[in-house]
Structure 1
Amino acid sequence: MKIRGFEVVTSYEGQGINLPQRATHQAAGYDFEAAADVTIPSIWKQWFSRRVGDETQLQKKIKPVLVPTGIKSYMGEDEFLQLANRSSNPLKRFLVLSNGIGVIDSDYYNNPGNEGHIMFQFTNFGLTDLTIKKGEKIGQGIFLPFLKADQDQSLSQRTGGFGSSDAV
């Protein structure tokens, strides 16, 4: 019987994707790796290179970049997987998780939109573009329980992938 864990997303099978693991016996987080090379542009470089009057175009360009992991996660109904940045990313690489933390709900697993593919959302506040290489550690996942209010009433069933509950 499976309780909680990780699997490789179907479209990434056979591509050398490693399942997240804890680095030490006492580590709370499971280390996630990038599933592909991804370049994250510097927000400053884009900002200072803009022309006056093209704020709309700039707004479209300066946005977080999704870094794929090739991983999906299953867990109990009253659990979630919290995605956290590596502590060294802001200090050494100028990378921040754009949403602060990520929340992977249990019903995200095998959803019809993207099979539950977990991605990390980064913004690069450094002065130069940064390329993350496939296999580099990019963040951590921590399984956590959560509580529900007495009046809890869920609105609907999940029907899509990344950000799909925004429409609910």
Structure 2
Amino acid sequence: MKRGFEIVNKYQTQGLNLPYRTTTHAAGYDFESATDFVLPSIWKLDFLKILKLIRKGQQYTDEDAEKARKILKPLLVPTGIKAYMQPDEVLILANRSSSPLKHGTVLPNGIGVIDADYYNNENNEGEIFFQLINFGLFDRKIKKGERIGQGVFLNYLTTDDDKGGQAVRTGGFGSSDQ
């Protein structure tokens, strides 16, 4: 087994589809949402209040700033999927080209990086989530089975003097953040 996808245990009986390439020459595997999911519009969550204060150079409270940070925090849309690959490979997650145009949804970090050692980690079995923010005017109602992003497997290179990562993955999403 070189690379591929599996359904995580939590979703085994939920009728999920493994990621798939839609066209013959597509590089990306389309991922679907594992559940119905509502991605709220940032505009309805009192984001405008702090934006107006900032634009006018007015004072705002730490509470206002924290509220704005929470509003702009991406939500994790579950896929119910995990990926296995070779040690020198990575799965890059990307937005579907139509998502910003049609729905106002974006991956705020541009891409997601799924490392080979994320597979079957002890915290979440390696389930892949798409981080999304909805800049559209209205809440985005994502239906189970709707395509929410794509993944591309790539080989990566290391430097001649690379010592290799010293840490061993001990958790799931964001576990290598220090």
TM-score by structure 1 length?
Answer: 0.94
Q: Which residue of 1 aligns with 2:33?
A: 34
Q: Is the partner of 2:22 in helix, strand or coil?
A: coil
Output the amino acid matched with 1:83. L
Choose which of 166, 173, 176 in structure 2 pairs with 1:155: 166
> Separation in 2 of the partners of 1:121 and 1:107?
20
Q: Which has the larger radius of gyration?
A: 2
What stretches of structure 1 of length at least 5 have no aligned partner? none
Q: Which residue of 2 aligns with 1:5?
A: 4
**Residue 150 of structure 1: how far off its partner (Å):** 1.5
> Separation in 1 of the partners of 2:70 and 2:25?
42
Give aligned pairs, total: 166
Output the amino acid matched with 1:155. Q
- Aligned-pair identity in percent equals 60
Choose which of 118, 122, 143 in structure 2 pairs with 1:133: 143
> Separation in 2 of the partners of 1:118 and 1:42?
23
**Residue 131 of structure 1: how far off its partner (Å):** 1.2
Q: Which residue of 1 aligns with 2:48?
A: 48
> Separation in 1 of the partners of 2:130 and 2:66?
25
Q: Which residue of 1 aligns with 2:114?
A: 104
Deviations 1:62-95, CA, capped at 9 Å, x for gaps? 3101000000000001000010110000000000
**Residue 161 of structure 1: how far off its partner (Å):** 0.2
> Separation in 1 of the partners of 2:49 and 2:81?
36
Deviations 1:5-32, CA, capped at 9 Å, x for gaps? 0000011111011001100111111110
> Separation in 2 of the partners of 1:8 and 1:21?
13
> Separation in 2 of the partners of 1:96 and 1:27?
20
Deviates more, 1:55-64 or 1:89-98: 55-64
What stretches of structure 2 of length at least 5 have no aligned partner? 54-59
- Deviation beyond 3 Å, 4+ runs, structure 1: 49-53
Query: Once superposed, what is the RMSD of the aligned Cα atoms?
Result: 1.4
Alignment of 1:72 onto 2:82: yes
Q: Is the partner of 2:157 in helix, strand or coil?
A: coil
> Separation in 2 of the partners of 1:56 and 1:139?
29
Q: Which residue of 1 aligns with 2:56?
A: none
**Residue 49 of structure 1: how far off its partner (Å):** 5.7
